[in-house]
Chains A and B, each alone.
Chain A
Amino acid sequence: MNKGLIILAACCAAVAAAPFALAQDETEKGVEKYRQMLKEDPWSNPGLLDADRGEGLWKTAAGPNKVSLEKCDLGKGAGVVDGVFAELPRYFADASKVMDLETRLMWCMEKLQGWKHADLVKKPYPAGGQPVKDLGAIATYVASKSSGMKYAAKLDKPEEKAVVDAGHAIFFRRQGPHDFSCATCHNDSGKRIRLQGLPYLADPKEAKQVIGQWPAYRVSTTQVMTMQHRMYDCYWQMRMPELEMGSDVSVALIAYLTKSAEGGEIAAPGLKR
């Protein structure tokens, strides 16, 4: 753990000090080196602290109803955590909706623990430098329990197909004062914004490499960021208002991205710039 953080800090300090075009390559190299180290010593991943916290939260009685989430059905039966993330998003008959991991957790927190929806969606993401919020920590825990598996969400039910198609259309939907869509930044290989590399997310090859790394520990903000938070942040860049956690738009985009990444390996929590 400590050794890992020291190396990480060293690599990134070096990058911060390097005032030239190679900075992006250097950051990517540093992050890649660190990823390699995580493979050899998985416990050096700071995101695992949040996964641990999430495990504790999953098992702790909470909310107005004072129950834990252990009866929550994430798709493979009440309380099953192992491998569920590899098969999400999916259609849940009890909710009559397709849900990704975070949306489903929110649903369980409402239905089982009695939290109010409005409170759950109010300020769901941490400010920079703050630890991921409770729901995000639980999501990190659940996702980590599919690490090493391949994405196998079938997304073949009519409801699921419709959501993937909607996600596809939303990915290309241009709006707002800058005419941006997701495709403006993520529909080509090898492009970057300033020095930040932009994955070609509509391409299965590139989607497979990155999508399975979420939730991810972000070195730049020293915190875990979840996939719903990632969508929110990209809409911020697009000059759109605040995307609601669990909205049909965010679920559709996540379903589309997951479909694009089908067969890719899950390595959550991953590590990002």
Chain B
Amino acid sequence: MKKTAIAIAAVLIAGTAGSSAQQKPAVDTAKIGAAIVAAFPTAPADWKSRFEQDETMKECSIHENSPPKAVADAIQKREKARIEYPADGKLVGDWKAGERLAQSGYGLRFTDYPARNPNGGNCYACHQLTKAEVSYGTIGPTLLNYGKIRNFSEADTKAAYEKIYNAQAAYPCSNMPRFGTNKVLTIDQIKNLVALIMSPDSPVNK
């Protein structure tokens, strides 16, 4: 019994060692942070916050997006608390405006100033959403029929709002941006995106 346990442990250790290209290095994160600041000397003063990491970014970086359970739980709790809801309680906006946002990758790049358009959500960069749009990425899962599969339920509509507002409240260290919390998208824009994936008349669900 004991022998098997040791053998299994050995396999597990060998398994993790073999799966990553290069071993996680022990590095001084403060030094890395300073190198980042120094590498972008022409950054405008109001961009300096982009060098900084909040607690969640720090944890996800150190753990290479696979946080141990306790860390993952802490991230989830913290990010959930950062979600803000519409004052009127309505979570669903206009899917047509949502589709335009899903297409647009505009915003926040150094070539996007002075701003000529509202920030986009760029959902198609990572997700399939409609049958009509064939130029979609695969970093995230397909969202085809997202609402239909969920019977357009109220609970899932709320979950969709929360997902877009702060992806890490449901999935710690998700590769998906925290659009609401990071102030990339406004609450109204997020409502339009909820409409895109959750309304029965949206092309996502046709």
Nearest CB in chain A to that of B57: its residue: A174
Q: Contacts A177-B108, A180-B177; is A244 near B22 (CB within 8 Å)?
A: no
The CA of A198 and the CA of B64, in the complex, are separated in Å by: 18
On whether the beta carbons of A243 and B51 are closer than 8 Å, the reply is no
Within the assembled complex, what's the spacing in Å between the Cα atoms of A244 and B175?
26
Q: Are A243 and B39 in contact (CB under 8 A)?
A: yes
Q: How many residues of A contact B (CB 8 A)?
A: 53
Residues of A within 8 A of B134 (CB): 19-21, 23
Determine whether A248 belongs to the interface, using a CB cutoff of 8 Å to chain B: yes
Which of chain B's residues have a CB closer than 8 A to the CB of A2? none
**Contact residues of B between 118 and 138, Cβ < 8 Å to A:** 124-126, 134-138
Inter-chain residue pair count (beta carbon < 8 A) = 140
| B110 A249 Cβ-Cβ under 8 A | no
Total B residues in contact with A, Cβ cutoff 8 Å: 48
- Whether the Cβ atoms of B38 and A248 lie closer than 8 Å is yes
Residue numbers in B under 8 Å from A183 (CB-CB): 64-65
Mark out the residues of chain A between 240 and 262 whose CB falls within 8 Å of any chain B CB in the assembled complex. Answer: 240-244, 247-250, 252, 256, 259-260
For the complex, what is the distance from the CA of A70 to the CA of B44, rounded to whole Å?
39
Q: How far is the CA of A202 from the CA of B24 in the complex (A)?
A: 11
A37 adjacent to chain B (CB < 8 Å): no
The answer to whether A192 and B137 touch across the interface, beta carbons within 8 angstroms, is yes
Chain A CB within 8 A of B53 CB: yes
| Interface presence of B83 (CB below 8 A) | no
Closest to B22 in A: A168
Please indicate which of the listed interface residues A165, A169, A191, A250 has the most CB atoms of chain B within 10 Å of its own CB: A169
Q: Which residues of B contact A187 (CB under 8 A)?
A: 65
Which residues of chain B in 42-63 are interfacial with respect to chain A, using CB atoms and an 8 Å cutoff?
42-44, 47, 50-53, 57, 60-61
Structural contact, A172 and B35, CB atoms closer than 8 A: no
The reply to whether A174 and B138 contact each other, CB–CB distance below 8 Å, is: no
Across the interface, do A236 and B32 meet the contact criterion of CB distance under 8 Å?
Answer: no
In the bound complex, do residue A249 and residue B39 qualify as a contact, i.e. CB atoms below 8 Å apart?
Answer: yes
- Chain B residues 1-36 with CB under 8 Å of chain A are 20-22, 24-27, 29, 31-32, 35-36
CB of A193 within 8 Å of the partner chain = yes
Stretch at the interface among B91-99, B146-154, B178-186, B198-206: B178-186
Q: A113 CB to closest chain B CB, in angstroms?
A: 23
Specify which of A173, A177, A236, A243 is in contact with B182 (CB 8 Å cutoff): A177
Residues 73-104 of A, flagged 1 when their CB comes within 8 A of B and 0 if not, give 00000000000000000000000000000000
Known: A19-B134, A173-B36, A193-B126. A165 touches B27 (CB 8 A): yes
List chain B residues, Cβ under 8 A from A256. 22
| 30 pairs, CB–CB < 8 Å, chain A vs chain B | A19-B134, A20-B134, A21-B134, A21-B135, A166-B31, A168-B25, A170-B32, A173-B61, A175-B53, A175-B57, A176-B50, A177-B177, A177-B182, A178-B177, A179-B182, A191-B138, A192-B138, A192-B139, A193-B139, A202-B21, A240-B50, A242-B42, A242-B110, A244-B39, A244-B40, A247-B39, A247-B40, A249-B39, A259-B22, A260-B22
Pairs A-B, 6 closest by C-beta atoms? A165-B25, A247-B39, A249-B39, A241-B43, A241-B40, A178-B177
Residues of B with Cβ closer than 8 Å to A? 20-22, 24-27, 29, 31-32, 35-36, 38-44, 47, 50-53, 57, 60-61, 64-65, 108-111, 124-126, 134-139, 175, 177-178, 182-184
A residues apposed to B, CB below 8 Å: 19-21, 23, 164-166, 168-170, 172-181, 183-185, 187-188, 190-196, 198, 202-204, 207, 236-237, 239-244, 247-250, 252, 256, 259-260
